[in-house]
Amino acid sequence: ATIGYANYDTLSGQFYVSTPITDKLSWNLAYGGSDQGEGWGNSISTGQDIYLEEFSTVRSKLLWEPTSTTTVKLVGFYAYSKGNIGMTTDRHTGSYGSTAGVPLPGYPDPQILLPSLADVPGDNFYNTWQNVPQSQREEGHGGSLRIDQETDFADLVSITAFRNSESLSVNDSDFSPQDFLIVTLSGIDDQVTQEFQIKSKADSAINWILGAYY
């Protein structure tokens, strides 16, 4: 196991354990994660930290060898991440409001200038005007079951697997303290797969494999 503490109030850790349960059954578990408590920059509009990131992942295996010719491996995993590192935070200088003296309902008159951070004095490379925290969130889990069976003729393999993942992206796309354009995108992905293989023996004069996958 390891644990670490770094710049920007970042706490991280890793853990791995592997052990026999019986003479035919063994198990392991692996974990890794990181949580950044302080952002690289902040929102000038709200004072909130930005450019943050956190993630964690865990994976476990159960290995069963009931005979010298049969191996069964069960695998499960979970992963999570959330952050806004790399998401756009600035814009070109521009203005909004009434044009050519024609009032626009809900917009200021006269126009208001919205400067780019590049035009504002100071070190604003990691800062933003945005008033809605941006983030990209991903979460997923899955598992697989693999069975290997040796025979006199060939080796047989069956692999059954599934995976589910969900994502949510929040984008303050107007890059300003105003609520002009907030875009939220979400996605769901579900997968189930099955594979069968018949393989030549390791000491076969000709290597061949026959399989089916869905």
**Quick count: other Cβ atoms within 10 Å of Cβ 201?**
13
- Given a cut of 80, whether residue 33 has pLDDT beyond it is yes
* Residue 74, token pair as written in the block: 């069960």
List b or e across 135-164, with b for residues whose CB sees 16 or more CB atoms inside 10 angstroms.
bbbbebebbbebebebeeebbebebeeeee
**Cβ 35 vs Cβ 54: under 8 Å:** yes
Distance CA 69, CA 160 (A): 19
SS3 (DSSP) at 93: coil
Report the pLDDT averaged over residues 170-195: 92
Least confident of 113-122, 131-140, 160-169: 113-122
> What value does the CA radius of gyration of the chain take, rounded to a whole number of Å?
27
pLDDT per residue over 45-71, tens digit each?
899 999 999 999 999 999 999 999 999
Q: What is the pTM of this model?
A: 0.82
